[in-house]
Amino acid sequence: MPNNSNLSTQAIDVYIKIAAISLLIYWCYSILQPFFLMVVWGAIIATALYPIATWANSKFGISKSKASSALSVIGVLLLLVPLIALSTGIYTGGSALVTGVQDGTIVIPTPNISIKDWPIIGDKVYGFALQASSNLESMLANYSDEVKSTITKMASFLGSLGGSFIQFIISTVIAGAFMVNADKCEQAFVLIASRLTGGKQGKELTTISKTTVRGVVQGVIGVAVIQSIMAGLGIAIAGIPGVALWMFLILIVAIIQLPPILALLPAIIYAFTVDTTTTAVLFLVWCILVSASDAVLKPMLLGRGSDTPVLVILLGALGGMVMSGIIGLFVGAVVLSLTYQLLTVWLINEAEEKEKEKEKS
């Protein structure tokens, strides 16, 4: 009986401890859940940018904490500029559009008759564009439901885009805090990884994690951002409207490891329809160069990158975007790549240990 009583008491004690710890974990998760994705993205940014702080420390003698803070401030300023430009552009552009429609001062050029040659949609697009060029107010009245639906979707998209910029700013501030305390964060990661692996692979997994994160950020996201900017410059010079939207589409296509030329095809068709042949051909050549630039950029930016399969990056980016919007596009690709690498290393190490045990026996 005493033994049974002691066992019952111990069981109850363990149950209470597990319940208390579970409650605390759930409580902490509920509190941090709104910021969880931003914290993860902040950790990714910190891991990718910390080598710059280390380089500034060794090259110019600037302390790592000051260099990290400077990088964070620069990142926030770089994000604030497009956010302010987006907000200002939406307000001024919207006001000018409404005023122009009311005053009848908006002039839409007559569409090129070659649009009719487009397969399937040519006649409808030409008819729509012709009506808009001859009587914009009548066209808006005829397609009022479609116009309202389009405006609502655009407003939702722009609101989501603005919210994503704010999330990126918060993540950049969090990244600065991580970089300032980089040594402590790395020690904590090593301790956690060592605990999970029985004290055998903590440092190895930490090194692999840093390499994978930097590889994906530099070799996938970095290349995508550069290609997006290059394409945006070409689109702006060619005079094609909606530069920001094209850049965003190219960014998504490049991150999921598809050729950016796929997103640029409608812009190329538009250029050949509206612009002169010389301008359109030059724009086509520029688009081909942008799409092929990853063959040069990836070896430059992916010096120590991971060998994560394209399918893993694709699923991570698309799944992350579906789950968490624009910021999930970036986080999903990195997190799934990191999980894949860590799982691969763990399986290989387990197999090697079993082989060694067999050899000993």
Q: Distance between the two ends of the chain, CA-based, in angstroms?
A: 44
Length of the chain: 361
The burial of 346, by beta-carbon neighbours within 10 Å (0-12 exposed, 13-18 middle, 19 or more buried), is given as: middle
How far is CA 338 from each of CA 48, 98, 198, 210, 216, rounded to the nearest angstrom? 13, 48, 20, 9, 9
The burial of 288, by beta-carbon neighbours within 10 Å (0-12 exposed, 13-18 middle, 19 or more buried), is given as: middle
Q: How far apart are CA 178 and CA 128, in angstroms?
A: 53
Whether 227 and 263 have beta carbons less than 8 Å apart is answered as no
| Per-residue pLDDT in tens (0 to 9) along the chain, 361 residues | 456 667 677 788 888 888 999 999 899 888 888 888 888 889 888 888 888 888 888 888 888 888 888 888 998 888 887 777 667 766 676 666 666 656 655 666 666 676 777 667 777 777 777 777 666 666 666 666 766 777 777 777 777 777 777 888 899 999 999 998 888 888 888 888 777 766 667 787 788 888 888 888 877 888 888 998 999 899 989 888 878 778 888 888 888 878 889 889 888 888 887 778 888 889 999 999 999 888 788 777 754 445 678 788 878 888 888 887 777 878 888 888 888 888 887 888 777 778 877 777 6
Whether 246 and 270 have beta carbons less than 8 Å apart is answered as no
- Non-local (6+) Cβ contacts of 98 within 8 A are none
What is the pLDDT at residue 91? 64
What is the pLDDT at residue 173? 92
pTM of the predicted structure, to 2 decimals: 0.70
Q: How far apart are CA 288 and CA 278, in angstroms?
A: 16
What is the pLDDT at residue 304? 45
Helix axes 326-360, 202-216, angle to 10 degrees: 140
Tell me the three state secondary structure of residue 59: helix
Here the tokens at position 109 are 């050029």
